[in-house]
Structure 1
Amino acid sequence: MSQSPNTRNTNLAAIAGTLLATLLSCLAPQALAQEAPPPQEKGPAPKDAMLHALAVQYPNPYRAMEAAEVKAVLDRVLGYLEASTPAEVIDKRTGASLARLDKADPDAVLKPGDFRLTSYEWGVTYAGMLAAGAATGDTRYTDYTVRRHRLLSDLTRVYYPAVKADPVNAQAPIKSFLNPHALDDAGALCMSFLKAKQAGTKVDYGQMVDICGTFVTQKEYRLKDGTLARGGPDGKGGVKMRPLPDTLWLDDMFMGVPTIALLGKDTGNAKYHDDAVRQVLQFSQRMFNPKLGIYMHGYVEGMQDHPELHWARANGWAIMAMVEVLEVLPTTHKGYPAVVRQLRAHARGLASFQDKDGLWHQLIDRPDSYLETSASAIYTYAIARAVNRGYLDKEMYGPMANLAWNAVATKVNAKGEVEGTCVGTGMAFDPAFYYYRPVSVRAAHGYGPVLLAGAEIIEMNRKYKFGVNDSGFMYQGQR
């Protein structure tokens, strides 16, 4: 039965309306509200009508970087580190490469490069390379870590028996790892080994994890309540002054706690998860300032007052420790909600101190101290990871993480070096110490955090859309 022209037109209009409604429903609501509503008044517009839309000269990009842009930054870092950190053993007398090591050779050393392959900073770098490989799909990042892990595994197999038998006199290219004296020697490296192992990397990690995991969980000094500490017995009847007996360094939340948590996943033994949670909460009870939302750097057990100096990188180690613990801590663990609450409290505090251009200051709450790159990169990573895992609101913290990344990216120079990173730093009781710490492109602390930050920003911006809405940069919905 034929339809009248009016009926056909009505049906076509209805179909068109339905298609339009469907199309609009597929678009994020924010994508349809990118400008301020038009003025309701009629007639010529006054001179101030569009001032809100004037172009702003932001010093760093005020937008979300595309994945390819982020990767270009990471590629520069990779290129520099690949060239400047050789994975090779040489004869220290002749400089000749030793392709095979079948037995311990006292003259064998790692070929010198810009950075040490067994420092705690390089444990973070190995983890950063793994994360960058996963985020970008570029196996060159993963291979960087695998090659060096394999070299360390081979050296451990050859040299550990002699070092274990005679820790004082035995020679080894990686002796600080084979005979650790502090969490710095073992914790971050162990974290990278466990991350790689749990990702299925084909390296023999057994001996290495046993050495560093045993040190972190059984040999490092602790306070009476089990909190990891420095300034314990020196083995000669005295006490190590680091800098005083029974001293907590906030850094050690990261140097030890992620490894403890990862051992829980690796072994299936819940005691490690219990210990990791206890460490986070006991460090926080002593060192977290709930009014400011940030941590002091050092604490000395038994003192009435403690130096309230809020060093940026130490705060980075703390928030990074929490996101790493939550990555492997079962959600059913009784301590899981407490760690999430502490992470959120810290993120709120950090958000309140972010500089206008995206970075954070060397002493977080003192804006006349310099802007520091490594801490800012760690915050970028930890906050973006927390957004991706749902610990933090994407609407609040996604723009903050993007702003931070865009600032961090400007600190990677054309050669791939990371600028503006504070050198290694102990704890002190006065502000001058922190204000005047030097910065250097040879400060290894910046490289791993930049890789981690870029990788997590790629993941976050792949998952969520961020863009400008009425001049402000903000969350715009799921991808």
Structure 2
Amino acid sequence: MKSIFLLSATAAVLFLSTGTYAQPKNAAADFKNWPAGSAPGDIGNIIANRFVATPHTNFNRPGPPKVITYPETCTWYGALTFAKVTGNKKLTQQLAARFEPLLGSRDTLVPIPDHVDYTVFGSVPFELYMQTKDARYLKLGQHFADKQWGPPEGKRVTAESHRFYNKGLTWQTRLWIDDMFMITAVQSQAYRATGDRRYIDKAANEMVFYLDSLQQPNGLFYHAPDVPYFWGRGDGWMAVGMSELLRSLPKDNPNRSRIMNGYKKMMATLLKYQAEDGMWRQLIDDPASWKETSCTGMFTCAFITGVKEGWLDPKVYGPAARKAWLSLIKYINADGDITDVCEGTNKKNDHQYYLDRKRNTGDLHGQAPLLWCATALLR
């Protein structure tokens, strides 16, 4: 699956002393003139409509979930942002209708915000509030965002919970790289919805703690301190988490330059490990491991965002992002499901464990990044 792309001869850029790229109007030329059937609007519609038609899922296991899972939250959020950027009011209404039972007869599906994977759910009502101005959504979103910074409570509290809380971090800290999307997504959304800087400032402080704890000299991240492997989707959560945070983090935040440096260091290394066809692998630095779609979607989104925001050189990262997108969408089948998605994965200090993970089809871990990419390309 090789993609052929053209670089615009006029896509010259100037690197400023601030570390951003001054882009001419056509600097995003790699994000235009798509081959038939590959435009982000077309792909986004396919994936969003597939989500609307899909019942609540349970990590690709049979039967309904006990509560809304984080992959569904991520896809719901992606579909809503895609609806916003395309002005698709009908899609927004459909996604709001999907949510309505959670405010009434099916409220038991709403997670308890006592873990990062559950607290991220708040990003969806925040987005619904911003698009509809219905105060019910704002109240629910703030409940989730505030619980993340509140005192430890509930059955999941451990001695570490109190240790992290006393350091000014969320008591839900666990030092898995997945957390840096789960935490930053809901807290960035809280800031966008309310304008209250304490949400995103706390998230930035948390991000620096994870950067200092988990980022390796090559710019990539171990899954956890005791798991020294560069797992694709794990690093993907970090890549998208940093780009989501930086996209809204105020310029005067004291942690912004530290996070930007960590982000750019990661992006440069990801560029080196991108396969010839544009994909990334289940274990990023293992050329024998299989090409995996969820991490490819996440890294592509982080590249697109960096180019669009002026953080990354468009002459370098624009073609790389285009190649990745055109390769990624070839994995979408006739049902609107993407294939070769790594199943839900806990941490384990075992190289073979990661190689042996199942390759799912239609797993929302893989559907969500497609919508994030489509939104980023159109934003």
TM-score, normalised to structure 1's length?
Answer: 0.64
Q: Is residue 85 from structure 1 mapped to residue 85 from structure 2 by the alignment?
A: no
* Separation in structure 2 between the aligned mates of residue 359 and residue 116 of structure 1, nearest angstrom: 34
**In the alignment, which residue of structure 2 is the partner of 1:315?**
235
Which letter does structure 1 place at the counterpart of 2:210? F
Q: Per the alignment, in what secondary structure is the counterpart of residue 331 of structure 1?
A: coil
Which letter does structure 2 place at the counterpart of 1:354? Q
Moved more, 352-361 or 124-133: 124-133
* Separation in structure 2 between the aligned mates of residue 371 and residue 29 of structure 1, nearest angstrom: 29
TM-superposed CA distance for 1:64, in Å, is 5.4
Q: Per the alignment, in what secondary structure is the counterpart of residue 136 of structure 2?
A: coil
- What root-mean-square deviation, in Å, do the aligned CA atoms of Structure 1 and Structure 2 show? 3.0
Which letter does structure 2 place at the counterpart of 1:294? L
Which letter does structure 2 place at the counterpart of 1:397? Y
Moved more, 125-134 or 403-412: 125-134
Q: Is residue 225 from structure 1 mapped to residue 167 from structure 2 by the alignment?
A: yes
Question: 1:258·1:276 contact (CA, 8 Å) conserved in 2?
Answer: no
Q: Is residue 74 from structure 1 mapped to residue 24 from structure 2 by the alignment?
A: no
Pairing partner for 1:198 from 130, 142, 147: 130
Moved more, 330-339 or 250-259: 330-339
* Separation in structure 2 between the aligned mates of residue 115 and residue 398 of structure 1, nearest angstrom: 39
Question: 1:289·1:296 contact (CA, 8 Å) conserved in 2?
Answer: yes
Per-residue Cα deviation, 1:389-447 (whole angstroms, up to 9, x for no partner): 11212111111111111111011111101111011000011101111010112422111
TM-superposed CA distance for 1:66, in Å, is 5.2
Structure exhibiting the larger radius of gyration computed from Cα positions: 1
**In the alignment, which residue of structure 1 is the partner of 2:299?**
379
Question: 2:124·2:141 contact (CA, 8 Å) conserved in 1?
Answer: no
Question: 1:149·1:203 contact (CA, 8 Å) conserved in 2?
Answer: no
Per-residue Cα deviation, 1:225-280 (whole angstroms, up to 9, x for no partner): 344576xxxxxxxxxxxxxxx85211011111232233344444433333111111
Q: Is residue 120 from structure 1 mapped to residue 73 from structure 2 by the alignment?
A: no
Question: 1:150·1:204 contact (CA, 8 Å) conserved in 2?
Answer: no
Q: Per the alignment, in what secondary structure is the counterpart of residue 410 of structure 1?
A: helix
**In the alignment, which residue of structure 2 is the partner of 1:275?**
202
Q: Is residue 425 from structure 1 mapped to residue 351 from structure 2 by the alignment?
A: no
**In the alignment, which residue of structure 1 is the partner of 2:220?**
294
TM-superposed CA distance for 1:154, in Å, is 3.4
Flag the 1:149–1:315 CA change in 2: closer, same or farther, 3 A: same
TM-superposed CA distance for 1:356, in Å, is 0.8
Question: 1:180·1:215 contact (CA, 8 Å) conserved in 2?
Answer: yes
Question: 1:229·1:248 contact (CA, 8 Å) conserved in 2?
Answer: no
* Separation in structure 2 between the aligned mates of residue 452 and residue 29 of structure 1, nearest angstrom: 25
TM-superposed CA distance for 1:311, in Å, is 0.7
* Separation in structure 2 between the aligned mates of residue 423 and residue 29 of structure 1, nearest angstrom: 38
Question: 1:309·1:431 contact (CA, 8 Å) conserved in 2?
Answer: yes
Which letter does structure 1 place at the counterpart of 2:340? G
Flag the 1:213–1:247 CA change in 2: closer, same or farther, 3 A: closer
TM-superposed CA distance for 1:379, in Å, is 1.1
**In the alignment, which residue of structure 2 is the partner of 1:397?**
317
TM-superposed CA distance for 1:117, in Å, is 7.5
**Consecutive unaligned residues in structure 2, runs of 5 or more:** 1-6, 12-30, 153-160
Percentage identity across aligned positions?
Answer: 24
Which letter does structure 2 place at the counterpart of 1:335? N
**In the alignment, which residue of structure 1 is the partner of 2:178?**
251
Equivalent pairs counted in the alignment come to 340
* Separation in structure 1 between the aligned mates of residue 8 and residue 366 of structure 2, nearest angstrom: 39
* Separation in structure 1 between the aligned mates of residue 363 and residue 8 of structure 2, nearest angstrom: 45
Per-residue Cα deviation, 1:48-99 (whole angstroms, up to 9, x for no partner): xxxxxxxxxxxxxx99525963233233323322222279xxxxxxxxxxxx
* Separation in structure 2 between the aligned mates of residue 114 and residue 85 of structure 1, nearest angstrom: 8
Q: Is residue 152 from structure 1 mapped to residue 79 from structure 2 by the alignment?
A: no
Question: 1:39-188 to 2 correspondence within 5 Å?
Answer: 65=34, 69-70=38-39, 71-85=41-55, 118-155=68-105, 159=107, 172=108, 174=109, 177=111, 179-187=112-120
Q: Per the alignment, in what secondary structure is the counterpart of residue 38 of structure 2?
A: helix
* Separation in structure 2 between the aligned mates of residue 272 and residue 82 of structure 1, nearest angstrom: 30
Question: 2:149·2:170 contact (CA, 8 Å) conserved in 1?
Answer: no
Q: Per the alignment, in what secondary structure is the counterpart of residue 249 of structure 1?
A: coil
* Separation in structure 1 between the aligned mates of residue 63 and residue 49 of structure 2, nearest angstrom: 14
**In the alignment, which residue of structure 1 is the partner of 2:141?**
209
Which letter does structure 2 place at the counterpart of 1:368? A
* Separation in structure 1 between the aligned mates of residue 243 and residue 66 of structure 2, nearest angstrom: 26
Flag the 1:196–1:365 CA change in 2: closer, same or farther, 3 A: same
Which letter does structure 2 place at the counterpart of 1:69? S
Q: Per the alignment, in what secondary structure is the counterpart of residue 367 of structure 2?
A: helix
Flag the 1:84–1:282 CA change in 2: closer, same or farther, 3 A: same
TM-superposed CA distance for 1:337, in Å, is 2.0
Which letter does structure 1 place at the counterpart of 2:101? L
Question: 1:85·1:113 contact (CA, 8 Å) conserved in 2?
Answer: no
Per-residue Cα deviation, 1:119-140 (whole angstroms, up to 9, x for no partner): 1112211221123223433334
* Separation in structure 1 between the aligned mates of residue 54 and residue 334 of structure 2, nearest angstrom: 15
Which letter does structure 2 place at the counterpart of 1:446? G
Per-residue Cα deviation, 1:195-227 (whole angstroms, up to 9, x for no partner): 332344546214422432233222563625344
Q: Per the alignment, in what secondary structure is the counterpart of residue 69 of structure 1?
A: coil
TM-superposed CA distance for 1:331, in Å, is 1.3
* Separation in structure 2 between the aligned mates of residue 264 and residue 408 of structure 1, nearest angstrom: 32
**In the alignment, which residue of structure 2 is the partner of 1:262?**
189
Higher helix share: 2
* Separation in structure 1 between the aligned mates of residue 125 and residue 33 of structure 2, nearest angstrom: 32
Moved more, 450-459 or 385-394: 450-459
Pairing partner for 2:9 from 30, 34, 54: 30
Question: 1:86·1:113 contact (CA, 8 Å) conserved in 2?
Answer: no
